Amino acid sequence: TGKDQQHDEL
Amino acid sequence: MNIFRLAGDLSHLLAIILLLIKIWKTRSCAGISGKSQILFAVVYISRYLDLVTTFVSVYNTVMKLVFIVSSVATLYMMYVKFKATYDHNHDSFRIEFLLVPCFVLALLIHAAFTPLEILWTFSIYLEAVAILPQLFLVSKTGEAESITSHYLFALGSYRALYLLNWIYRYYAEGHYDLIAIFAGAIQTILYCDFFYLYITKVLKGKKLQLPA
């Protein structure tokens, strides 16, 4: 898990 | 997107729709915990603030909007439109006992110390335990109507299916998010008792009644 992580799940 | 994720999302959507239909058709929110519904609304609103900052896909945006709008609609039905049918006395769980620890935990354990990320993490932790007031209400009254049971089953299945999605994504994409996985596992475990009762009673046509 990183800082620029995008949460693509709901 | 994989089959587990899609099935999880659809199960989640089904749960929300079942709940709204139940309240609308019976003109009553008896047996439903308003406290849990408040927590779910907090979960969706704090998690989906990224609607205004990040675009993932049309599917993603539409589903987020549906979750926010339907949770607010549920609260409106419970606390305004069908207020008289709301079971205040049995719905006595103190939600600050969940809200405060989840927020503190999000401040302590997160992927990044930014407002959106802290709120996302808070929503993940809170979602894991948001059903507790509802389970508490069922345990206090000792029973649940069949449609309420179907709602709880669909809602519980959603995170269980997400667990499969995370396992799949780990192997297929090397992607994993420990915060979501850990909270999702806790969330699913909380439903296990209920799953057992649902399968052994409700699916056999009996009413969900807790052993005295």
Chain A touched by B56 (CB under 8 Å): yes
CA distance A7 to chain B (A): 9
Is B60 within 8 Å of A8 when comparing Cβ atoms? yes
- Chain A residues 1-10 within an 8 A CB cutoff of chain B: 1-3, 5-10
Q: Which two tokens stand for residue B31?
A: 């047996």
Chain A touched by B87 (CB under 8 Å): no
Q: Using the Cα atoms of residue B34, residue B37, residue B43 and residue B46 in order, give the sign of their dihedral.
A: negative
User: What are the Cα distances from residue B57, in Å, to A10, B128, B174?
Assistant: 12, 25, 21
For A6, the 3-state DSSP assignment is: coil
Query: What confidence category does residue A3 fall into, taking pLDDT thresholds of 50, 70 and 90?
Result: very low
Interface test with A, best of B16, B175, B176, B181 (most A CBs within 10 A): B175
Query: What distance in Å separates the CA atoms of residue B183 and residue B197, rounded to the nearest whole number?
Result: 23
Picking from B154, B158, B13, B124, the residue whose alpha carbon sits closest to that of residue B71 is: B13
For B143, the 3-state DSSP assignment is: strand
Kindly give, in sequence order, each residue whose CB lies less than 8 Å from that of residue B12, ignoring residues fewer than 6 positions away: A10, B67, B154, B155, B158
Kindly give, in sequence order, each residue whose CB lies less than 8 Å from that of residue B76, ignoring residues fewer than 6 positions away: none
Digitized pLDDT (tens) for each residue of chain B, 212 residues in all: 999 999 999 999 999 999 999 999 999 999 999 999 999 999 999 999 999 999 999 999 999 999 999 999 999 999 999 999 999 999 999 999 999 999 999 999 999 999 999 999 999 999 999 999 999 999 999 999 999 999 999 999 999 999 999 999 999 999 999 999 999 999 999 999 899 999 998 899 888 988 77
Set of chain B residues whose Cβ sits within 8 Å of the Cβ of A1: 111, 176-179
List alpha helices for B48-145, DSSP H. Answer: 58-76, 96-108, 115-129, 132-141
Instruction: Please determine, for residue A5, whether its predicted confidence score (pLDDT) is greater than 70.
Output: no
Q: Please compute, for residue B134, the number of CA atoms within 13 A of its CA located in the half-sphere on the CB side.
A: 27
ipTM confidence score: 0.81
What average pLDDT does the segment A1-10 reach?
Answer: 67
